[in-house]
Amino acid sequence: MKKTAKPEKVVPKATTSPLGDWRITTHIDLVKRPPMPLGASVFIRTVTHHYTGKVVREYGEEVELIEAAWIADDGRFNAAMASGAFDQVEPWPKETHVFINRSMICDWCVTQFSHPTSTR
């Protein structure tokens, strides 16, 4: 009987990205879910809505935000992303924790501006 070679053990490797060093366990993890930095202010575009907020944590397919707002109208996108001045903002009440399903996220970024916390 012929012996077959054992598959190589996959060892997580450190990866450097703009988000800092983090570990990946498989190629799929890297492709599907780059981590959102905890405590960072983010802008998130989902299939149907836009959101801002501060990342509290991630749970598998969910990301938890505080100080979150639904961006009803972002106006001129480039200007809004450069300044944080959106045309229409609807924030959740101050202590509300908002959960967004990661499978619905089209794209997201860490913002260089403070996320909006008042209605516009």
pLDDT at 115: 82
Q: Give the model confidence (pLDDT) of 32-42 as tens digits.
A: 567 889 999 99
Q: Where are the beta strands (DSSP E) in 30-116?
A: 41-46, 50-59, 62-73, 88-91, 98-101, 105-110
pTM above 0.85, yes or no: no
**Which CATH code of 3.40.1210.10, 1.10.10.10, 2.30.30.100, 2.120.10.30 fits the domain covering 34-110?**
2.30.30.100
Domain positions in the chain: 34-110
pLDDT band at 114 (very low <50, low <70, confident <90, very high): confident
Does 71 score more than 60 pLDDT?
Answer: yes
Q: Is 50 exceeded by the pLDDT of residue 24? A: no
Compare 66 and 18 and report the one with higher pLDDT: 66
What pLDDT is stored for residue 120 in this prediction? Answer: 80
Residues whose CB falls within 8 Å of the CB of residue 92, separated by 6 or more in sequence, listed in order: 68, 69, 70, 98
